[in-house]
Amino acid sequence: MHLTSPAKLNLHLHILGQENSGYHLLDSLVVFTNFGDTLTLESSAKFELEIRGTFAKKLQKHTPSTENLIEKSVMIFSALTNTKPNYKITLEKNIPLGAGLGGGSSNAATTLKALQQFYQTQIDLSQITSKLGSDITAFLNVPTPIIIRETGNEIIIPHFNIPTCYILMVNAGQHCSTPEIYKNLEMKEFSSATEFPHQFKTTKEFTDFLNKETRNDLTDPALKLKPNISRTLEAIASQKSCLLARMTGSGATCFGIFETITHAQTAAQEIKTTHPEWWVVQSTTL
């Protein structure tokens, strides 16, 4: 089985409040992209996980195999379904780590959906994802755009059609720790949940609304820890026909939405030329 494990983008992210437990309450429109990691499953005498690709070494360096979300997902799935993990999973790691793109969460959810299909079981996968992290549950909805609320465990399917977005994702090689970003979050007044119109006729109409009515509340704390993120945002926003430039999740990746695929491709080439050391990928939303 060959599967794509897509990256996600938070088109907006509002902090609505904070529970006594310390967890923050969110409101975020999440879309998935054509770009992502690749997972291959094949028969094997025992469970194996092989990691290749651009960010393989960094993942292996910072994440012990026992902490890898793919391996955790496999073990919990096997225990709940009473199946033996007699297969090898090869992960082609293309999504940068600590980038706000949800790479690890996507890998876990994609693995679970593949195993559910392979074993033809009707097990509720959210039973597993809720044990691993609420953001993983969001990826069970790929490719449908979703709104996540509360601590990320409430999933809402938007009542409006989201236009196809031509996007550019840029990371200047920085890693953001989500817990550290939240520690630096200081809000005198919390945001409110976004009420979206019933339709958007064009991508520009959609991005005009996002620019006017929404934001990413984690941008300021991210900039305090990683000031150079501002350079990434400026590089994207300065490109011709950029309709929206914003940071995704808790950073450090930033993205731009463009009116046409040609504009997005041209912007990607220009930033690659100006900043050859940066990670730059052009894609579209699913």
* pLDDT (tens digit per residue) in 118-162: 999 999 999 899 888 778 999 999 999 999 998 777 899 998 889
Q: What percent of the chain has pLDDT over 70?
A: 99
The fold for domain 2-156 equals: Ribosomal Protein S5; domain 2 (3.30.230)
- CATH 3.30.230.10 residue ranges of the chain are 2-156
CA distances from 261 to 99, 165, 282 (A): 23, 9, 9
Residues of the chain with CATH 3.30.70.890: 166-284
Neighbours of 202 (CB within 10 A): 11
Task: Say if strands 48-52 and 87-92 run parallel, antiparallel, or are unpaired.
Answer: parallel
User: What is the average per-residue pLDDT within 15-22?
Assistant: 88
Q: How far apart (Å, rounded) are the C-alpha atoms in residues 277 and 37?
A: 21
d(Cα 262, Cα 246) in Å, to the nearest integer?
20
DSSP state of 107: H
Instruction: Phi first, then psi: give them for residue 90, nearest 5 degrees.
Output: -110, 125
Domain 166-284 matching CATH 3.40.50.2300: the answer reads: no
Residue 98: pLDDT band (50, 70, 90) is confident
Q: Which residues are catalytic?
A: 8, 135
**pLDDT tens-digit profile of 241-282?**
999 999 999 989 999 999 999 999 999 999 999 999 999 999
CA 106 to mean position of chain CA atoms: 7
65 has pLDDT over 70: no
pLDDT the model gives residue 222: 94
Model confidence at 9: pLDDT above 90: yes
pLDDT above 90 for 177? no
The two tokens of residue 60 are 């292996």
Question: Bridge partners of 31?
Answer: 9
**% residues pLDDT > 90 (the chain):** 79
Residue type, 277: E
- Return phi, psi of residue 94, to 5°: -105, -20
